Structures are given as structure tokens and as C-alpha cells.
Structure 1
Amino acid sequence: MSKTPEQIAREASAWWTTEIVDIQPGRIGIRGYPIEQLIGRLRFPEMIWLMLRGETPQREQADLLEAALVAAVDHGPHAPSIAISRMAVTCGLPINGAMASAINALDDIHGGAGEQCMELMQQVAAAVEGREPTLELVERVLDEYTAAHGKIVPGFGHRWHGTDPRAVRLLQLVRDAQARGVVDGRFATIGTLVEEALGRRKGTRIPMNIDGATAVIYLELGFPAGLGRGLFILSRSVGILAHAWEQKQQGGRIKGPMPPSVPYTYTGPQARDLR
């Protein structure tokens, strides 16, 4: 039996459903709030929170989220995503193409450590089951984690920084927020215990890095691990945009990862003839 036009219209209208935005002619509602009430009153971190969580945060919660977003915006043109954005511009891509190319590189290895660290910390929290976390329990979870994912523990250690200055500052802000009752400090404690456990295993301190510190903040604020990479991408997109724009002003044409004067290493067969 064929459908009536009314049935088709209802089916089409029900195809997508959303609790996020309600748009009608002359009206835009975000989570129920008229957009004109949000403009000029909500800061960008508060808008991110509203979009993802459905409600506006307390000011101190938004401050902590903002600190994490600010901390991770850039780490120089040696970071693959930043380098990609600059190379893409020299290949003729517009800003949006350069940004898209760079963001596509932010996957499990480059860009995924924060989300992975959140998963590890949540695994510890689940094992604790409401009790205070202990070093012994953390070591047991680390054994399970490394058995499943390999020896690299995301969120700790850094190839450039012996001590990551961003992590130091962010953890200080978390402890300050804990003292004011904004967060409970559970994941900050878990992160510190993971750092201690890794130090025991390696025989030297393996400090928390930016990915670990932002993982602590996002979990303290109640964000699920599945949003960790997206939040990092929101932050790093600022650096990607800035570098793409700077490269556009500098010019340059088809710049690869190394200048032509720096050769790569060829490891194939010696020159030979096809006979």
C-alpha cells in the first residue's frame, strides 16, 4: 500500500532526531536556550559544555575546561599534524583543506593518547569500586593494560620534555579546584599513582604529560573517555589554523617534510640494469 504524502512527510521529519538544536524561521534554540541569550553571555568553553552535556557549567568548571583547551593548542611544526597543515598550504590547499588534512592525522598514535589515558584511568577507577586507590591496585591495572595494549602507557613521559610544563600547571589548577570543592580529585590521585607505579618499573620518574593532565581534567569534570580525542582536536585545531595561516602568509611551494639539501636514507638494492 502506497504511503500518503502526510505519512511520507512525517517519516522524513522523523529521520533525524536531535536534542541539541531547534531551528525554525527566525528562531535558533540551543538545548532550549534562544541563541541570542547565549551570544555575549556564554564563553566558548561554556558553549562547548552546553553542546556536549546539555546544561551550562559552573564558572569554575568552565575555567578548568578552558585551561585544558588552552594548554594543548600547539606543539610546534615538528608535530605531524601541524607540519601537515603547513605542507598542505604549500601544495595549494585552502585553509579548510589544510585543516582537514591535519585533523585527519590525529588518530590513535598522534592525537589519541589523551583519550587512551582517560580509558586507563577509568579502568583504575572501576577496579577501585569506591575505595581509595592504592599503588598496588594501580600496578595490577597497569599489568592488565599493558598486556592488552603494549608497553607504552599513554599520558606519561615526553620525547621533548623531561617535565612537561603544561602538565605541571594543569595539575596545580586541578588541586586548587579540588580545594575549593569544584572537583573531588579522584582522577588526579589516580594519575599520580600511575606516575609513581611507572617510576618503580622504569627505575626513573616518568612524569605525566599534557595528555595525562588533560585526561585528569576531563574525567574530573565528568566527560566520558569517548569525547577525549574530540576535545583535544578542538584545542589543537587552533594551532593548526594558526600555522596554516602563517604558512599562507610566508608563501612557499610544495614544501616537503625536509629541505632538498637534507637527503633521506635509501636502503634498497644498489643500481642495476634490467636484462
Structure 2
Amino acid sequence: MSSIDTSGHASGPAPDGLPGHEPEDKRVDTSGDRPRGQPDDVGQPTRDPRVSDWWTTSIIEMSPGVIRYRGHAIQDLIGNVSFAQMIWLMTRGELPGAGQARLLDAALMAAVDHGPQAPSIAIARMAATCGVGLNNAMASALNVLGDVHGGAGEQAVEMFRAIAARQDGGLSLADAVAAGLDEAIAARGKFVSGFGHRFHPVDPRAPRLLALVDEAAREGGVSGRFAAIARAVEDELATRKSGRRIPMNIDGATAVIYAELGFPAPLARGLFCLSRSVGILAHAWEQTQQGGRNKGPMPRDYLWTYDGPAPIA
């Protein structure tokens, strides 16, 4: 009989014919085919619904040697599909047309960064001085993209769609815009999502994006309906402000594009997060290269205003 050493491997040959053993000349070494201890059927689809239905997805199909996104083999997509097209495929289930992809790409590119004036960018840089990795700095920054900073695009899409629904119900564009504005202000206060900017008198990104929408509408790629609604909102705001215009900003312009392209409103926020993550990564990396330790939101020579109790004797 063969003896077993403490490593668990046989130290001598096993007799031919024992269960689980074959003569030496009939054995096939498959140790290089899979990690030690891994069963032969690892990764094979299971037919047990208690396992296979634990997660159900139409996004990706995967088995050994096979990766398909929405039915498209990965090797057919690589080198033939842009990142913007891939985002569309993953979120919408189909590949976009060329004009649709150009508009989506423009919206994503336009919102990548706004400097440390933007809280998300400032947080990325501050986090990078705290000794964390790029992923931590990025996560810290992305986590502040909420209703106030980052959510305006989603809210603008909701408003534009609500106005369109009122038009479909029989209201004129002017009446639908007035009612939609009233509803948005009642829900969120005097700041109208997608309009006005605390830094730019005119946001230089918005006119260019709207020009691209107009071009796509002339070519039949989009309807142009939501661009008209957004411009009507801008006109109505000017009327209510006695002629003082509150121009559309990046959130309003990208909301026009996302609405024209048929994206649901919540995806507008997700797409903004994808876009802004590029700037967040760039700033976190630059700050990492520059160095610095524990940089806060203001230089250390400046102190905040204290409005608490007087010193207690």
C-alpha cells in the first residue's frame, strides 16, 4: 500500500485498478488546465434555478471563453464601438445611431470638470492629500453628487418631460411651460434646475450643446422638441424677472440632450456621475503627484467665523 505524507500527496505508487487510480501509462496530467482543487465544471451554467435565478440580467452573458453584452460578442465590440456607444448599449439595450452617439458623447465630454470651484473636484483633491488611493479619492468625490450638486440634470429632464406631457394633454407651449415652472418651483424652491450659474453669466458649454441638438434635429436624428421647451423655459423666466435673462447652464443643456435621446430622468444623474468622474480622476491624480498633506478647504492662515458662546472663565 502507498503511504500518505503530511502534505496529502501519495509518496508511493498506488496499485493499478484501485478506484480513482489508473496505471501510470494511462494517466493524463491536467494540472495545468485549472487551479488545484477546482472542479471540472467550474463556470459552467447551472440548471438549478435556485442558483441560476439568484441574479437575472439581460446585460451580460458569460461562460468560459464567452462574453456577450446585450447579445454582442465582446471581440466584435472591441475596436468597433466607442465608449459612449458602449454606455448606450449597456443602459439602453441596443447600439445607438451615429448621430445619437455624437450627441451623447458631446454631453458626457462637456461636463467632465469645473475645477475646484465644484465641491466634488475640491473633495477629490483634499482626499488625495490624506494618504488614500485614487479609488478612495474618487469615491469620496462621487458621493457628494446629490440633489444640489449633480442632480440638476435629472431634475431638468423631469421638468422638461412634465411640460411635454402637458402639451400632449392639449396645452399650448407657453401655458405648459408656465405650469411646469410653477410645479418645479413649488417642489424645489426658487432655483430652477438647469438655469442660471453662480460663476458664469453665460455658461459657455450650453450654447454649443444646443447648437449640436439643432444640427441633429435638422438631420432628423432627434425631434428638437425638448430644445424648444428649454428655450421657452428660459423665455418664461426672463418674463418673470422683468426681462433679466437666466441662461441655461450645463445641466439644462445636457438635460435637453438626454431628453431628446430618450434617457429616463434618473439616468441623467448617473450619466453626469460618469462624466464628472473623469475630472475627479484627473484632479485626484494631479494632486497625488503634487503631494501635500491634509489640505483642507481653506489655507491654514485663514480661520472660519466662530459664532458660539464667549469664552467661559
Shift of 1:144: 2.0
The amino acid that maps onto 1:52 is T
Structure (1/2) with the larger helix percentage? 1
The alignment status of 1:92 with 2:134, answered yes or no, reads: no
Distance 1:132 1:190 in 2: 13
TM-score between both structures, scaled by the size of structure 1: 0.94
Whichever residue aligns with residue 299 of structure 2, its letter is P
Give 2:73's match in structure 1, choosing from 18, 22, 34.
34
Q: Does 1:217 align with 2:257?
A: yes
1:72 Cα deviation from its structure 2 partner = 0.2
Distance change >3 Å, CA 130–CA 188, structure 1 → 2: farther
Which structure 1 segments of 5+ residues have no match? 1-6
Is 1:202 aligned to 2:241, yes or no? yes
1:147 aligns with 2:195: no
* CA shift for structure 1 position 137: 2.3
Q: Indicate if the aligned counterparts of 1:82 and 1:239 stay in contact, CA closer than 8 A.
A: yes
Match of 1:3 in 2: none
Matched to 2:76, the amino acid is Q
Distance 2:182 2:114 in 1: 31
RMSD over equivalenced CA pairs, Å: 1.4
Q: Deviation string for 1:3-29 (max 9, x for gaps)?
A: xxxx99421211110000001001100
Give the whole-Å Cα distance in 2 for the aligned partners of 1:158 and 1:180.
31
Query: For 1:77, what is the secondary structure of its paired residue?
Result: helix
Q: Distance in 1 between matches of 2:81 and 2:256?
A: 24
- The match for 2:110 among 56, 71, 79 is 71
Paired positions, count: 267
Q: Residue 4 of structure 1 corresponds to which residue in structure 2?
A: none
Q: Which residue among 154, 157, 162 is the counterpart of 2:196?
A: 157
Matched position secondary structure for 2:307: coil
Identity of aligned residues (%): 60
CA contact (8 A) 1:133 1:190 kept: no
| 2:234 match: secondary structure | helix
Provide the C-alpha distance between the structure 2 equivalents of 1:155 and 1:212, rounded to a whole number of angstroms.
4
Task: Tell me, yes or no, if structure 1 residue 241 matches structure 2 residue 281.
Answer: yes
Q: How does 1:1-275 map to 2 (within 5 A)?
A: 9-129=48-168, 133-203=172-242, 204-273=244-313
1:222: how far off? Answer: 0.7
Shift of 1:155: 0.1
Q: Aligned to 1:261, what secondary structure does the other structure show?
A: coil
Distance 1:18 1:66 in 2: 26
Partner SS for 2:117: coil
Structure 2, unpaired ranges of 5+: 1-45
| Cα displacement string for residues 94-139 of structure 1 (whole angstroms, at most 9, x for unaligned residues) | 0000000000000111100000000010110111117685223211
Aligned partners of 1:49, 1:8: CA distance in 2, in Å?
Answer: 31
Could you say which structure has the greater relative contact order, defined with CA pairs below 8 angstroms and 6 or more residues apart?
1
**2:210 and 2:253 in contact (8 A); partners too:** yes
Instruction: Mark the structure with the bigger radius of gyration.
Output: 2
